[in-house]
Amino acid sequence: MDEQGKPRAGLGYSLLSSHRSELMGVAMLWVMLFHCFPLVIPVHFLDAVKRIGFAGVDIFLLLSAMGLTLSAISRPRRYGRYLVRRAGRILPAFYIVTVPFYLWKVLTGRIAVRSALLNLAFLGYFLDAPDHFNWYIPALLVFYLLAPLMILAVAKSGRARDIVTVCGCVVGVAVSELAARIGLGHLLDFLYRFPIFWVGVRLGFAVHEDKKLTLPRALFWLAMLAAGTLYIYYRQFLAFNIAVIYGFIFTTVPLCLILALIFDKLPVRPLLWVLRQIGDSSLEIYLINATWFIEFRFFSDLLRLPMDVYCLVGLPVNILLGVALHCAIEAVRKRVGRKAKEK
């Protein structure tokens, strides 16, 4: 039994579902370190890991796609109800954090009203508006819109699920490369993630079917990890202009499997509890991080701290505020749900 009283997962893909919150906690911490742009870690390897922290987003999308797939298989819903639930998870936190942020930026003359409104309507990123909001939330909403169709495509493919997934990845890479060449480069952060979302959908079926990590499968993922790591490292020496992010299509699943196995086997309950709180509150933590936290110059000047010190001080504050906001929103959501049932 694990610390939550659930039966421990066997050595299989179900490990990813059992430790989904903890993995999202790791991903959130990685993204937060990446966003600490003024901070330089004196150990070269650790600083290199920090500088590729955008790969934490790939972990988020992989696990989100997996979770959506499991939910769709176990609790089929109408598309409209599905969208309402997704919007109910994202919109309250988004507007609580970003409306004051953009109001502050408008009042201080740092952003035009039009740009603020486009960002609040999730269009700023796609229209490449000046000072557009971080790409992740608008892109996530599009992924949520498309997820049921992607899940259906994989479900209908039967034994050809792996082929459909590979084709989806290839098409995603091709569209990304085309966008880079026709003046749509501002969409690449979004387009680059289609392959990993396809992999996450396929992974959801593997978890649902309780596929075990047999020796051939384990060796396959280790080979993927090695290939992706070598590509990420040697990409800097290559002459052709292919994005480094493609390496994470290969490394994200094995990295998550290794971390989940560590979480499952090692006696690290206090660490797991902390990671679980961060993972469960990752949306709120991210929103605060991608708006208020990265105003390095303003807040470091206000607090009279060097920017790197501000980063170190701000990280735990960012986490605590995000967890508090998540708990508050969930409390209101449960209260509204109880009143709706009573009616």
Average pLDDT over residues 195-222: 94
Confidence (pLDDT) at 5: 44
Phi, psi values for residue 212, rounded to 5°: -95, 155
Dihedral sign from CA coordinates of 202, 17, 257, 11: negative
User: How far apart are the C-alpha atoms of 1 and 202, rounded to whole Å?
Assistant: 27
* pLDDT over 50 (residue 4): no
In tens, the pLDDT along 148-171 reads 999 999 999 988 999 999 999 999
pLDDT band at 67; cut points 50, 70, 90: very high
In tens, the pLDDT along 256-314 reads 999 999 999 888 788 999 999 999 999 999 999 999 999 999 999 999 999 999 999 99
* pLDDT over 70 (residue 252): yes
User: How far apart are the C-alpha atoms of 213 and 1, rounded to whole Å?
Assistant: 20
| CA angle centred on 157, ends 153 and 159, rounded to 5° | 145
Q: Where are the domains of the chain?
A: 14-342
Average pLDDT over residues 86-101: 94
> Tell me, what amino acid is at 275?
L
- What is the per-residue DSSP string for 8-31? PP-SBTHHHHHTHHHHHHHHHHHH
Confidence (pLDDT) at 240: 64
Confidence (pLDDT) at 74: 84
Cβ–Cβ under 8 Å, residues 63 and 200: yes
User: How far apart are the C-alpha atoms of 155 and 164, rounded to whole Å?
Assistant: 10
3-state helix, strand, coil in the chain (%, to 5): 80, 0, 20
Task: List CB contacts of 81: < 8 A, sequence separation 6 or more.
Answer: none
